[in-house]
Structure 1
Amino acid sequence: MAASRKVSSFRLPPLPTVSELIKLYNLRAEKQLSQNFLLDLRLTDKIVRQAGSLKDAHVCEVGPGPGGLTRSILTAGAADVLVVEKDSRFIPGLKLLSEAAPGRLRIVHGDILTYRMDQGFPANISKPWEEDPPDLHIIGNLPFSVSTPLIIQWLENVANRTGPFTYGRAPLTLTFQKEVAERLTASTGSKQRSRLSIMAQYLCTVHNRFTIPGRAFVPKPEVDVEVVHFTPLVQPQIQQPFKLVEKVVRNIFQFRRKHCHKGVEKLFPEARRAELTWEMMQKADVDPILRPTELTIPQFRALTDAYAHLCAHEPGLFTYEFREELRLKHLGKNKSAAADGFMDPLSVTAQSVPQPY
């Protein structure tokens, strides 16, 4: 674990360019890992500037790859940079950078989804949640395949003040494919509004900073990329456990084109569905014929508070899952059909398939 230190000079000694490192180590982006290299240091510098001042700061960079963004972070004056890289092919190039910035760059060969970031930095950088954010920044040009599960994991960490947020309200500056970024920042009523919008915005201020055209990456992805900045809120806009909020929002958005009461209905077992749906909508005082995209965060707060109230009186409600009930019902139907020598070809539609964010 690195101790806090001051950086007197931000200039790195002469190094091979990122393009030269790629050739030197015979690196190429792996399509199955959704890797795309950003080689233009003017763009990596611009990403880093969105994080604010990094002078003498602690930084965790996610998936540094060949190290283009890492160079910009070091040049910006960060005193302690922890990079977490899963792909062993990039470790030799990162070690070159570490040698060029002695004592400032630490390399973890591991998976950011399982890495214990709460143990990665000195405890003395922590700030009380109610105060300004700590001098710790999370920055990353994320592979498309990991970006959504990772931000959901971090949002849960924000809600529980765990992981990197044990140090306080650490800000995040991350890249996402344009479609995901638009969902993260979508306002009430927009066609991009989704459960990802609600989950991000009830916990953080979320801003879309700028667009990086796909042609800036090697290889060129089929979509443009957006840089998004998050700062955890002192008080989340919904004061309920993350899992409860996620369940309510997920159920409502599974019928995004229908009236919101359709999703609320699926929170409850069939035998009491109509009764409990009516009670929840009445208690929340939300118009049941609003579409999910039209609901504001205060309305989601009212709905989650009403659902929490019902669960407190009937604890078994929270463990109920409509899709699991549907799956078991069709499983029983298929067993009966198999016993009669007939299998319903449409039964596959009843499988429990996670809904996309």
Structure 2
Amino acid sequence: MSQPLPLPFTHQPHPSPVSPEHRAALLVNPGFGRVFTDHMVTIRYTDGQGWHDAKVEPRAPIPLDPAAAVLHYAQEIFEGLKAYRTADGGATLFRPEENARRFQESARRLAMPALPESLFLASLDELIKVDRAWIPDGDGSLYLRPFMFASEPFLGVKPSSEYLYIVIASSVGAYFKTTADAVSVWVSQDYTRAAPGGTGAAKCGGNYAASLLAQAEASRHGCDQVVFLDAVERKWVEELGGMNVFFILDDGSMVTPPLGGTILPGITRASLITLAADRGITVREEPYSLDQWRADAASGRLREAFACGTAAVLTPIGTVRSHEGDFTIGNGRSGLQTEELRTALVDIQRSRAADGHGWVHRVF
């Protein structure tokens, strides 16, 4: 028996949805974050009233007062997760409860109201049911972007009393545009992503805005991504612009920087730690310096390294560049253990392997 929705959703069908023929053409090669579905979810929050007015409606521009608090004080958070098409024509999500909980933690850090987990999950389900035809076949997926921002019109530094929560969806293929077997990364030694006591563990737009200049620097040096060091000693590897990082040593063990408020607690990261333990692989969450990274790559102790996240899944790191010179990890290509972990994760996400941890959420 289905559970009642935490809020009733009203549905407003799109008056002129994209034709099946045009949609099929778009899904041949959607890229990442450029092709959007017909509908979106909106839910409003008002002090004293709470969450209300839940809708599935045509995707359209958002009317916004120029004094809206988000435009002046940046109260904004978001999440990212994917829906996958199953062999029987259904759809699944991977650990969406964890996204819901992280969304709540991000909201608390930015003094925003916490969206109930049940309402977060219902908003995803409702949108997927309406726009299920936008889930690509094959290796593609439907990327879901829930986000929330302060919508009260006022000028004054205080938490807003009004918020708008929205979910949009985008049909996607590969995140990285490179055709290389592994990506190259630039170590930023001039800019930092987050400091202790800051918003590094929250998924808020400001963190990503602060990374763009460093990412541009990486691009100028011919690299696909930027790597940030800690803000205090400027020596410990923390994370890429939007991804966590793992190092695989010659004994098969793995190291990943520890969470501590400056690193985003990635759901892919946590899942990989569990999958590694299932395979008897030791994973240590401990600091790993740039000097150690360079030395281990030179000695052969470091066998593989990869970045991970919802969008990038597992992406091998082949070359590291910095002001102090370049170095290569292994043979500069994807390694066996990286590929095995990636396959194990993706097969569970796409319902091709048994889900022993209860991670897969079936939508229909």
Question: What range is the shorter-chain TM-score in?
Answer: under 0.3
TM-score normalised over the length of structure 1 = 0.27
Structure with the bigger percentage of helix:
1
Q: Which has the higher strand share?
A: 2
The structure having more radius of gyration, on CA atoms, is 1
Instruction: Tell me: higher relative CO, structure 1 or 2? Use CA pairs within 8 A at least 6 residues apart.
Output: 2
TM-score, normalised to structure 2, is 0.27
